[in-house]
Amino acid sequence: MKKIDGAVLVLSGPSGAGKSSLVHKIIDDIGECYFSISTTTRPMREGEVDGVDYHFVDKAEFEREIEDDQFLEYAVVHGNYYGTSLRPVKKALEEGKLVVFDIDVQGNAAVQNRLGDITTSVFITPPTLSELKRRLENRSTDAQDVIEKRLQMAKKEIQRVSEYEFLLINDDLEAAADKLQTIATTARFKKSNDEINAFVNQWEDM
Ligand code: 5GP
């Protein structure tokens, strides 16, 4: 990889936690960023747009991309493949952008492995499981069995919160957005190990 000036912000948390609403609220106030668009094999939901919300592909295409080593990370979530393509992320990092990922706990672990030095991670959740259930039911984009699967998954994911630097409880959207904006602004200041080593080497200039 060329010199990296950018940084990474990982956002995880159950579907229904309000991640997209929070991102929409802060996106204009956190400087130049690239919001990574994942590739998935899950069916498109009503209102979603291919190439905007996700790149929607079939299983064979996804597996071809795995073979071609195209993913920074990928995982099976709720029985479908989800993955982050490496190329646009590399480009955005080289351009000094803050790269924002909405990925699950497995994805966070993989990103920490590969880009841990420049990564800030945030786990976003409603205050309680019953509040999450209420939000998913109100959203009415998913069938009851899908909601049930998401709740079971959320119960598992919450056990891994300690793998994140920040736990953001999305109780009040405005307050949570303020906090996320502060975290995102600070995330940019992370320096890669290479950059730190280069700085240290040139610092003793006499
Ligand atoms: P949804 O189907 O509700 O859009 O997303 C389901 C879950 O998949 C969410 O937890 C989301 O963060 C996660 N997810 C979305 N894209 C990716 C990805 O590229 N990689 C990984 N590991 N998880 C993802």
Mean pLDDT of the chain: 94
- Give the CB-side neighbour count of residue 191, counting CA atoms within 13 A: 8
For residue 89, the CA-to-ligand 1 centroid distance in Å is: 16
Cβ-count burial 82-95 (b if 16+ within 10 Å, e if not): bbbbbeebbebbee
Percentage, residues of the chain above pLDDT 90: 86
Please provide residue 36's backbone torsions phi and psi, each rounded to the nearest 5 degrees.
Answer: -65, 130
Give me 73's structure tokens: 């990370």
The band of 199, judged by pLDDT with boundaries at 50, 70 and 90, is very high
The band of 113, judged by pLDDT with boundaries at 50, 70 and 90, is very high
Q: Give the mean model confidence (pLDDT) for residues 98-120.
A: 96
The band of 1, judged by pLDDT with boundaries at 50, 70 and 90, is low
Q: What is the pLDDT of residue 46?
A: 85
Percentage, residues of the chain above pLDDT 70: 99
- Residue the block writes with tokens 């956190």: 30
**Residue identifier of the C-alpha nearest atom 11 of ligand 1:** 103
Q: Model pTM?
A: 0.93
Indicate if ligand 1 lies below 6 Å from the C-beta of 187: no
- Residue 101, SS3? strand
Write down the domain spans for the chain. Answer: 7-203
Q: Which of 35, 77, 132 maximizes ligand 1 atoms within 8 Å of its Cβ, making it the mutation to test the pocket?
A: 77
Each residue of 52-85: pLDDT tens digit?
A: 999 999 999 999 999 999 999 999 988 899 999 9
**Cα distance between residue 159 and residue 124, in whole Å:** 13
Does 3.40.190.10 match the CATH number of domain 7-203? no
